[in-house]
């Protein structure tokens, strides 16, 4: 928990090298001071950032983890996917290879069952329409196939970037509230079960005590009459 009435989330963002993940992370973590950078070195390890926001007047903190796109590191970091409240997969709409490898990542993650949180598929660089190699329909179809939400964005112009993270925040909060409510119901059910067992035990003890008392009284009466005769 962030505060008494706030939530803390983990968001993992993955994708091929040069898909634009770092610029997306920078926009999400510090939107007011963001300055688009056309040349960013590849992420060699995990790049961490933080976003503080509010959803329905509730403070939330999102720990954003950008994973490297290098193929040799996929399996090493794949085991960490299960800790994500949101799993964001990014591809470059101007690169067919980026999209196909993104599909392979989805298949691998689903097959292994690593991802427990929500899936979001994002096609970046929507500002480069003339260089497009992957249609909007292809991206949406892939997302639907894996039960994922789909967006096309531009980390350069900011198109849909804020809308996307706002959607993710809302979904994460709703999922957490549902999980908390389920846990509350389970605790109440367990409490009722324990109280029921205690009540049964108490009733059993009272019955045993009653039998002992009645038996004692009966024996006393029998003994009195026997003695009288």
pLDDT band at 8 (very low <50, low <70, confident <90, very high): very high
- From CA 166, how far away is CA 175, in angstroms rounded? 14
Angle between helix 96-112 and helix 136-145 axes, rounded to 10 deg: 10
DSSP 38: S
CATH class entry, domain 7-181 = alpha beta
Rounded to the nearest angstrom, the gap between the alpha carbon of residue 170 and the centroid of all alpha carbons in its chain is 12
Dihedral angle computed from the Cα positions of residues 159, 62, 149 and 183, in that order, rounded to the nearest 10 degrees: -160
Tokens 């990014």 -> residue: 90
One-character DSSP codes across 148-205: -EEEE--TTT-TTHHHHHHHHHHHHHHHHHHHHHHHHHHHHHHHHHHHHHHHHHHHHH
The 10s digit of each residue's pLDDT in 165-183 is: 999 999 999 988 888 888 7
DSSP 67: P
Q: What is the mean pLDDT of residues 192-203?
A: 74
| 151 neighbors 90 (Cβ within 8 angstroms) | no
Q: pLDDT tens, 108-161? A: 777 665 567 788 999 999 999 999 999 999 999 999 998 889 999 999 899 999
- Range with the largest mean pLDDT of 30-34, 35-39, 96-100: 96-100
- CA distances to 44, 71, 213 from 204, rounded to whole Å, are 66, 65, 14
In this structure, the chain runs to a length of 229
Element (H, E) at 215: helix 161-228
Determine if the pTM surpasses 0.95.
no
């Amino acid at each position: 928990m962030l505060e008494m009435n706030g939530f803390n989330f983990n968001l993992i963002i993955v994708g091929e090298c040069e898909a634009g993940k770092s610029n997306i992370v920078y926009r999400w973590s510090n939107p007011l001071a963001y300055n688009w950078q056309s040349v960013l070195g590849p992420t060699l390890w995990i790049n961490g950032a933080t976003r503080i926001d509010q959803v329905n007047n509730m403070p939330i903190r999102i720990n954003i983890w950008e994973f490297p796109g290098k193929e040799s590191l996929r399996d090493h970091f794949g085991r960490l996917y299960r800790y994500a409240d949101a799993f964001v997969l990014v591809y470059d709409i101007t690169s067919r290879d980026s999209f196909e490898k993104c599909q392979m990542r989805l298949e691998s993650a689903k097959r292994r069952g690593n991802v427990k949180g929500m899936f979001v598929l994002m096609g970046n660089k929507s500002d480069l329409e003339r260089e497009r190699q992957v249609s909007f329909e292809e991206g949406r179809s892939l997302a639907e196939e894996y039960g994922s939400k789909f967006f096309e964005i531009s980390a350069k112009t900011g198109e849909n970037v804020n809308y996307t993270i706002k959607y993710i925040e809302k979904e994460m909060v709703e999922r957490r509230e549902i999980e908390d409510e389920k846990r509350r119901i389970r605790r109440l059910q367990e409490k009722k079960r324990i109280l029921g067992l205690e009540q049964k035990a108490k009733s059993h003890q009272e019955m045993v005590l009653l039998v002992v008392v009645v038996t004692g009284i009966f024996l006393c009466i029998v003994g009195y009459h026997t003695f009288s005769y």
